[in-house]
Amino acid sequence: MTGTSLPTTDELRERALAALSRVGVTPEDGSDFHARTPITGEDLFGLAAAGEADAEEAVAAAHEAFLTWRTTPAPRRGELVRRLGELLREHKSDLADLITIEAGKIRSEALGEVQEMIDICDFALGLSRQLYGRTIASERPGHRLAETWHPLGVVGVISAFNFPAAVWSWNTAVALACGDTVVWKPSELTPLISLACDRLVARAAGDVGAPRDVHRLLLGDRAVGERLVDDPRVALVSATGSTRMGREVGPRVAARFGRSLLELGGNNAAVVTPSADLDLTVQGVVFAAAGTAGQRCTTLRRLIVHRDIADTLVERLTAAYRKLPIGNPFDETTLVGPLISPKALDGMQGALDRVQAQGGKVLVGGNRRLAGQAPEAAYAEPVIIRVGEQNDVVREETFAPILYVMTYDTLDEAIALHNDVPQGLSSSIFTRDQQEAELFLSSAGSDCGIANVNIGTSGAEIGGAFGGEKETGGGRESGSDSWKAYMRSATNTINYSSELALAQNVSFL
Ligand code: NAD
């Protein structure tokens, strides 16, 4: 599997089966849908989807498991995520294989995704001893006021194809440490990696004596996800995917007074100021815009460059883009793998046509690649396109490697342009001027959930909270105090005096 030549579907099928078998999974034959690889664009094998009865059984079992799991001391719950982390380390290469085969990620990014899963298990293990509540000064003598945190219930995790395992692990490792149980509906485009992850949790649970049903998997399309969305036993629906999906899921969960945590589309931008270190900027921009073939929620989609340096920067970026190796994601030299599907390629072409019709000018890229070798696959050259300020397409998320370049004269103008999109996930500024950096990070600067300086928009670490504002959905996952979304708090007032004192000096009786 080297060079520009692609592996065959048979080779990929064998590689997937070998990885699954090492993890302990034998996929059951089914005909409801197919596991597929974007590397050749062909089907790997048929699988069965979960029906209504399967969903009912899985949620009931996860709910039953919750009733014991919630009373298991949190540090003991941490032992489950520690064991899961060990198994992830052991099977890092197998899991990365499955991610590459199903999502098309290049090898180093697939390994990086598994590393992120290991990291969040470490984080959740520590968290299991740090689910702190506050003690609050009471206004009444002989009283103590405290905040305690309790497990929430069953967490329904609905995930997207592009981070087919890491996003699940952010939710699952933290939810399990918090005392919740999980029912997972992964993307229908990435069933194999989810079978592997589910198996590893089951193995970890068996090893530490936790109930098997702390984690259940439901394969299938959005209809399966909708069952989780509507089930009142699912206390929290954590849904990652397009804004379209979130627009449907959010109100449905709210209608039954459930909780939702939405991680939706981004339309991320970087501002490049005249003082920026251009070597660093070029590296940061190319990885953020072309990495993962433009299929990260945090992919850099808009570059807002000061007019004085625009030509120089664009020249350097286009030169770097011309050298990007595109092709077999298993080849160590490849930097850009396939798009997930021909439909994604159509979406990319459609966006390019519309931007050009509105005066945009393609500077580099945009051609389809490897169509002769793999007619069902979708390989595309990442594109840089120069646009004017007024361009509707720029305000949409197109899940493909398109970088729109626009220019600005004042930083206020750049920040206004930056924030003038419906999404609010990730952002960055490249500058060596501290005032500019601080302004960008201030309340008058970027309106995103992630704001960086001298680093691209993608590639967050698990220790911080991850998520975005506006149409990105407002959810926060992973590190910092995101765990609070997976628990419920109770305020306790304890009277240890022998007087009944009412708050606010109210007298009664
Ligand atoms: P998608 O919205 O098509 O699907 C995501 C998941 O939602 C899938 O499992 C799908 O089956 C399910 N789903 C879709 N409609 C549903 C409904 N009505 N009810 C219940 N479930 C439903 O997204 P995708 O194409 O797999 O992923 C790409 C999108 O995800 C991009 O917009 C990207 O920005 C976003 N994303 C966001 C984050 C984040 O953290 N903000 C992370 C990864 C991906």
Q: Name the residue at shortest CA distance from atom 28 of ligand 1.
A: 241
Note the pTM of the prediction, 2 decimals: 0.97
Is residue 377 one of the residues assigned to a domain? yes
| For residue 156, pLDDT beyond 70 | yes
Confidence class for position 3, pLDDT limits 50, 70, 90: very low
Report yes or no on 68 lying in a domain: yes
Same domain, 26 and 89: yes
248 and 299 co-located in one domain = no
| 161 Cα to the center of ligand 1, angstroms | 7
Same domain (yes/no): 372, 424: yes
pLDDT for the residue numbered 4: 67
Q: What is the pLDDT of residue 199?
A: 98
Helix H or strand E encompassing 406:
strand 402-408
What is the CATH classification number for the domain harbouring 456? 3.40.309.10
Query: How many structural domains are present in the chain?
Result: 2
- On whether both 245 and 293 belong to a single domain, the answer is no
The 3-state DSSP class for residue 296 equals coil
Within a domain: residue 397?
yes
pLDDT tens digits for range 179-227? 999 999 999 999 999 999 999 999 999 999 999 999 999 999 999 999 9
pLDDT at 455 over 80: yes
Given the residues 102, 113, 188, 263, the one annotated as active site:
263
CB-CB contact of 462 with 489 (8 Å)? no
The reply to whether ligand 1 has any atom less than 6 angstroms from the CB of 240 is yes
| Residue 44 falls inside a structural domain | yes
The token pair that represents 147 in the structure block: 């905040």
User: Choosing from 178, 197, 297, 448, which is the catalytic residue?
Assistant: 297
pLDDT in tens, 59-92: 999 999 999 999 999 999 999 999 999 999 999 9
Query: Does one domain contain both 372 and 418?
Result: yes
Q: What is the largest CA-CA distance in the chain?
A: 88
Place of tokens 């570059």: 303
Average pLDDT over residues 114-122: 98
456 falls within a domain: yes
Q: How many CB atoms lie within 10 A of CB 417?
A: 18
Residue 507 in any domain: the answer is no
Q: How far is the CA of 242 from the centre of ligand 1 (A)?
A: 4
> pLDDT tens, 399-425?
999 999 999 999 999 999 999 999 999
Instruction: Decide: 264 in ligand 1 pocket, CB within 6 A.
Output: yes
Q: Are residues 325 and 232 in the same domain?
A: no
Task: Give the Cα separation of 338 and 340 in Å (integer).
Answer: 6
- For ligand 1, the distance from its centroid to the CA atom of residue 431, given in whole angstroms, is 33
How far is residue 348's CA from residue 366's CA, in Å, rounded to a whole number?
9
Percent of the chain with pLDDT over 90: 97
Per-residue pLDDT reduced to its tens digit, 324-379: 999 999 999 999 999 999 999 999 999 999 999 999 999 999 999 999 999 999 99
Q: Which CATH number belongs to the domain containing residue 17 in this structure? A: 3.40.605.10
**Distance between CA atoms of residues 473 and 190, nearest Å:** 23
- The string of DSSP letters for 60-102 reads HHHHHHHHHHTTS-HHHHHHHHHHHHHHHHHTHHHHHHHHHHH
For residue 299, being part of any structural domain is answered with yes
Q: Is the pLDDT of residue 2 over 60?
A: no
Q: Amino acid identity, residue 230?
A: D
In a domain, 509, yes or no: no
Average pLDDT on 295-309 reads 98
Please name every residue paired with 259 in a beta bridge, in sequence order, or none if there are none. 236
Mean of per-residue pLDDT scores for the chain: 97
Distance, in Å, from the CA atom of 191 to the CA atom of 444, rounded to the nearest integer, reads 43
> Looking at residue 254, what is its pLDDT?
98
Residues 478 and 454 placed together within one structural domain of the fold: no
How many CA atoms does the CB half-sphere of 388 hold within 13 Å?
A: 7
Compute the average pLDDT of residues 425-452. 98
Span 380-393, mean pLDDT? 90
> What confidence tier does 391 reach under pLDDT thresholds 50, 70, 90?
confident
My answer on whether 438 and 338 are in the same domain is yes
Same domain? 237 vs 293: no
Ligand 1 centroid distance, CA of 32 (Å):
20
Residue 198 Cα distances to 32, 161, 217, 327, 372, angstroms: 20, 16, 6, 30, 37
Q: In this model, does residue 299 exceed pLDDT 70?
A: yes
85: left (phi over 0), alpha (psi -120 to 50) or beta: alpha
Substitution site in 218, 227, 242 for ligand 1 pocket (most atoms within 8 Å of beta carbon): 242
Q: 188: Cβ below 6 Å to ligand 1?
A: yes
Any atom of ligand 1 within 6 Å of the Cβ of 249: yes
Please count the other Cβ atoms lying within 10 Å of the Cβ belonging to residue 311: 11
197 is catalytic: no
Together in a domain, 25 and 99: yes
Domain range holding 364?
268-463
159 and 289 part of one domain: no
Contact 241 CB / ligand 1 (< 6 Å) = yes
Backbone angles phi, psi at 456, to 5 degrees: -70, -175
Cβ 425 under 6 angstroms from ligand 1: yes
Q: Is the pLDDT of residue 1 over 60?
A: no
Whether residues 135 and 260 share a domain: the answer is yes
Mean pLDDT of 267-277: 98
